């Protein structure tokens, strides 16, 4: 007791939605072991848009997966609110992933046989719940798909598909949304529309979003940027602009 980790475990700053405490993730064993995360401690503030940046292989996706309860840490803790994910049963974790977390993958992961609207409400359908009509309206309005809601994913552009994926992540009104390079496959116009949507979700809908990106322009939409390198947090920037993020990347050669 009395270590830094213990202090952080028992005390959380007001407004923190999710946090990692001394999070370490090792893939494999012995000589082939890869340390993907090494003693990562960070807090994600609520109602804020946080970007995570870092070179390829620096552990960004691993961090997202572990914080979202999609993968387990080797040691350390991740919390959602006051819940330590490592203490939850499989059933509790499934419920947490379904009800309290939204995840947007780089590949859109939409179901091809469902319409855009059916894809958006899928998490509720799976949970046997009905959408809250006001919230669904707000999300669908924000996502700006208009008359394309009845179309199937194959009839939508990449940018539209990714906005459907983002609406699906928001439909359960999760405590936090993790988005792993959501603009990676989009041209700059479609990417800009998605980023504006995320910004709007944070400001108007009070959502909390964490986004992995390689793009300084995308990071410029966030309230703060966390920089990872070799599985460690190496820097933090508040109120980033694309220019400052680019300077930071040049300085560190990533
Ligand atoms: N399932 C796995 N098994 C073994 N090693 C893995 C696995 N997943 C990731 N790694 C390794 O862990 C390290 C971190 O990977 P991670 O995918 O988190 O990086 P990243 O920052 O998301 O990279 P990128 O920008 O390329 O997506 C890398 O060295 C990677 O090779
Ligand atoms: Mg990745």
Q: How far apart are CA 16 and CA 80, in angstroms?
A: 9
Among 24, 25, 57, residue to substitute to test ligand 1 (most atoms within 8 Å of Cβ): 57
Name the CATH superfamily, with its identifier, for domain 3-13+46-71+100-250.
Answer: P-loop containing nucleotide triphosphate hydrolases (3.40.50.300)
Question: Which of 221, 235, 149 has its CA nearest to residue 191?
Answer: 221
Rounded percentage of the chain residues whose pLDDT exceeds 90? 72
Ranges of each domain in the chain = 3-13+46-71+100-250
**pLDDT 10s digits, 199-253:** 988 998 899 999 999 999 999 999 999 999 999 999 999 999 999 999 998 887 6
Kindly give the distance from the C-alpha atom of residue 130 to the centroid of ligand 1, in angstroms, as a whole number: 37
- Checking DSSP bridges between strand 224-229 and strand 49-53, what pairing results, if any? parallel
pLDDT attached to residue 2 = 41
Q: What is the mean pLDDT of residues 92-109?
A: 89
pLDDT attached to residue 1 = 41
Contacts 24+ apart (CB under 8 A), 124-129: 124/171, 124/172, 126/98, 127/98, 127/99, 127/172
Kindly give the distance from the C-alpha atom of residue 135 to the centroid of ligand 2, in angstroms, as a whole number: 31
Q: How far apart are CA 129 and CA 83, in angstroms?
A: 23
Q: How far apart are CA 182 and CA 196, in angstroms?
A: 13
Min mean pLDDT across 35-44, 140-149, 156-165, 174-183 is at: 140-149
Residue 228 alpha carbon, nearest atom of ligand 1: 21
Rounded percentage of the chain residues whose pLDDT exceeds 70? 94
- Average pLDDT of every residue of the chain: 90
**Pocket of ligand 1 contains residue 220 by CB under 6 Å:** no
**Pocket of ligand 1 contains residue 59 by CB under 6 Å:** yes
Q: How confident is the model at residue 26 (pLDDT cuts 50, 70, 90)?
A: very high
Q: What is the mean pLDDT of residues 8-23?
A: 77
């Amino acid at each position: 007791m009395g270590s830094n980790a213990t202090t952080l475990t028992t005390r959380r700053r007001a407004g923190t939605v999710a946090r990692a405490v001394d999070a370490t993730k090792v893939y494999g064993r012995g000589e082939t072991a890869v340390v993907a995360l090494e003693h990562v401690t960070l807090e994600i503030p609520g109602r804020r848009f946080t970007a995570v940046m870092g070179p390829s292989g620096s552990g960004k996706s691993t961090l997202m997966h572990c914080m979202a309860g999609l993968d387990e840490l080797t040691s350390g803790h991740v919390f959602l609110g006051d819940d330590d994910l490592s203490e939850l049963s499989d059933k509790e974790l499934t419920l947490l992933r379904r009800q309290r977390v939204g995840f947007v993958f780089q590949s859109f992961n939409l179901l091809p046989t469902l319409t855009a609207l059916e894809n958006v409400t899928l998490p509720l359908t799976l949970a046997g719940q009905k959408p809250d009509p006001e919230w669904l309206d707000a999300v669908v309005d924000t996502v700006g798909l208009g008359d394309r809601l009845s179309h199937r994913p194959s009839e939508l552009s990449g940018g539209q598909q990714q906005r459907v994926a983002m609406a699906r992540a928001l439909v359960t009104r999760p405590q936090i949304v993790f988005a792993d390079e959501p603009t990676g496959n989009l041209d700059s116009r479609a990417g800009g529309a998605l980023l504006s949507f995320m910004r709007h979700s944070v400001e108007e809908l009070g959502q909390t979003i964490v986004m992995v990106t390689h793009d300084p322009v995308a990071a410029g939409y966030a309230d703060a940027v966390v920089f990872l390198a070799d599985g460690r947090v190496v820097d933090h920037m508040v109120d980033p602009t694309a220019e400052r993020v680019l300077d930071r990347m040049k300085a560190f050669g990533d």
